[in-house]
């Protein structure tokens, strides 16, 4: 399990409010333009995920090392990772975007559920995808593939910086998932990003309601002087989540 202290509960609750789209906007304003994990789509119905990264890195398999389907639960980094993740953790699997084999299957996913893990994210595939789809855990992958991992992947490291869907992920970074996918937040920015994104989501909900009511973009998105005054009045009855 990650040895970092758990995230503040308030930060976790705030990060559950904004969409990943809003989070990417907030992060881009801080100069972080590459934070959305490309190709990681939700597999299960659990699509609100906030957790800290526990990383697993695969390199291409090699016939003399990976020609056996016998797995060593003591030394295999994949099995070590499965037995280490726990509450608040998201297993992030660097599969190099390779879709020619699964990265894990339903038995290992079931073990993660039993350990209380928050989620699984890979830029590769899951096998046993129909079974994983019915599990009570957030899970994101590029596509399904029935072949076992060692036909293509060799697990080599845990808890090292990895790339997942083109994004750098460091152990302890915060991953937030929704119906669209997964965004990665550097851990040291999590508290401030949570506040800014929750407030932005609140403001954009107000803007969207006005646009749906027929208001033009000009003066509404972004808020002009009159619309800003209307938003401030709206906040009196509907305070932003950071003020509740």
Contact between 149 and 155 under an 8 Å Cβ cutoff? The reply is yes
pLDDT at 1: 54
Q: Quick one: CA torsion of 194, 16, 41, 102, rounded to 10 degrees?
A: 90
pTM: 0.94
d(CA 109, CA 139): 9
More confident residue, 174 or 71: 174
Nearest in space to 148 (alpha carbons), one of 85, 42, 76 = 76
Give the number of other Cβ atoms within 10 Å of residue 8's Cβ. 12
Q: Is the pLDDT of residue 65 over 80?
A: yes
DSSP β-bridge partners for residue 55: 92
81: its two tokens = 């990772």
pLDDT at 67: 78
């Amino acid at each position: 399990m990650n040895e970092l202290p758990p995230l503040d509960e308030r930060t976790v609750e705030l990060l559950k409010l904004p969409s990943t789209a809003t989070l990417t906007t907030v992060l881009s304003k801080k100069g972080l333009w590459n934070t959305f994990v490309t190709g990681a789509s939700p597999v299960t119905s659990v699509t609100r995920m906030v957790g800290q990264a526990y990383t697993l890195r695969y390199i291409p398999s090699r016939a003399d090392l990976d020609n056996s389907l016998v797995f060593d639960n003591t030394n295999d980094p994949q099995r070590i990772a499965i037995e280490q993740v726990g509450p608040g953790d998201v297993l992030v699997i660097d599969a190099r975007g390779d879709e020619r084999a699964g990265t894990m299957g339903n038995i290992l996913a079931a073990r993660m559920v039993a350990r209380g893990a928050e989620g699984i994210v890979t830029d590769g595939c899951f096998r046993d995808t129909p079974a994983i789809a019915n599990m009570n855990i957030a899970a994101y992958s590029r596509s399904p593939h029935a072949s076992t991992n060692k036909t293509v992947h060799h697990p080599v490291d845990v808890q090292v910086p990895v790339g997942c869907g083109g994004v750098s992920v460091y152990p302890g970074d915060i991953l937030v998932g929704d119906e669209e996918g997964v965004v990665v937040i550097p851990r040291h920015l999590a508290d401030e990003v949570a506040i800014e994104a929750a407030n932005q989501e609140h403001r954009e909900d107000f803007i969207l309601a006005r646009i749906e009511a027929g208001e033009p973009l000009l003066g509404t998105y972004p808020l002009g002087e009159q619309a800003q005054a209307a938003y401030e009045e709206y906040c009196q009855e509907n305070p932003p989540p950071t003020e509740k």
